[in-house]
Amino acid sequence: MADIRVKICGLTRPQDVDALVQAGAAYAGFNFFPKSPRYVTPVQARELALDCPPGLAKVALVVNPDDALLDEITAIVPLDFIQLHGQETPERVAEVRARYGLPVIKAVGLSSEDDLPKIDAFMAVADQLLIDAKAPKGAKLPGGNGLPFDWRLIAGRRWPKPWLLAGGLTADNVAEAIAMTGAVQVDLASAVESAPGVKDPAKIAAFITAAQADPVPRF
Ligand SMILES: O=C(O)c1ccccc1NCC(=O)[C@H](O)[C@H](O)COP(=O)(O)O
């Protein structure tokens, strides 16, 4: 079994936490973006986070949050990471890290080579990066759109900090995505749902099995 760590984003119900634990996920993401079908209030997230056992890291996903929102969330939700998934600057990433004393995962959206310099800029200040597909123009959500980016953009690249591959990953394509990019951590939201915001335990288990399957040797 390959040592691939899986983050599932957008849990909304207690049974979602159970499904992650059963399947062996490494990270559970709680989404605080109000327009998302995966949105949870801080009070709901607290209940879910309290159900997470040690070994399942709890991540708060926020989009361009002000301090008031982060104060509200961090006051009641036990967290292991803050994930910044908007247009935050490197300076804001550093500020959030310092103010809340939590490691920050910064999402970076890619659609072309022009986006690659952002990776180095955020590597310098964030604890981890989440390398995702850039949301299409006019999309309602800045992430969680179920769309992959061209993995060849990052094939063969290596960075000094941990990172997660995201964007349109499914049980059918995750092995190829890992083989092409060298990712050891992967993140997804939509492909493990039966409807937007409703996680499906069978899809979660199938995805994690596929992600952690030993790679087929290529001759
Ligand atoms: O999932 C959302 O609804 C969402 C809303 C606003 C900002 C980010 C959001 N998701 C971020 C994630 O970390 C997703 O897991 C990532 O973008 C991959 O999503 P998917 O392509 O659906 O697997």
Mutate which of 132, 147, 198 to test ligand 1's pocket (most atoms within 8 Å of Cβ)? 132
| Distance (Å) from CA 116 to ligand 1 centroid | 20
Tokens of 197: 């915001």
pLDDT computed for residue 214 by the predictor: 85
Nearest atom, ligand 1, residue 167 CA: 21
Can you tell me which residue has the tokens 């992600």? 211
Choice among 16, 51, 52, 132 that is catalytic: 132
**Exposed/middle/buried for 213, CB within 10 Å: 0-12, 13-18, 19+?**
middle
The ipTM assigned to this model is 0.98
What does the longest C-alpha to C-alpha distance in the chain come to? 55
| Distance (Å) from CA 136 to ligand 1 centroid | 13
Strands (E), the chain: 5-9, 27-31, 57-62, 81-84, 104-110, 128-133, 163-165, 185-188, 193-195, 198-199
Q: Domains in the chain, please, with CATH?
A: 5-212 (3.20.20.70)
Amino acid at 189: A
Nearest atom, ligand 1, residue 83 CA: 13
pLDDT in tens, the chain (219 residues): 889 999 999 999 999 999 999 999 999 999 999 999 999 999 999 999 999 999 999 999 999 999 999 999 999 999 999 999 999 999 999 999 999 999 999 999 999 999 999 999 999 999 999 999 999 999 999 999 999 999 999 998 999 999 999 999 999 999 999 999 999 999 999 999 999 999 999 999 999 999 999 887 666
List alpha helices for 129-193, DSSP H: 174-181
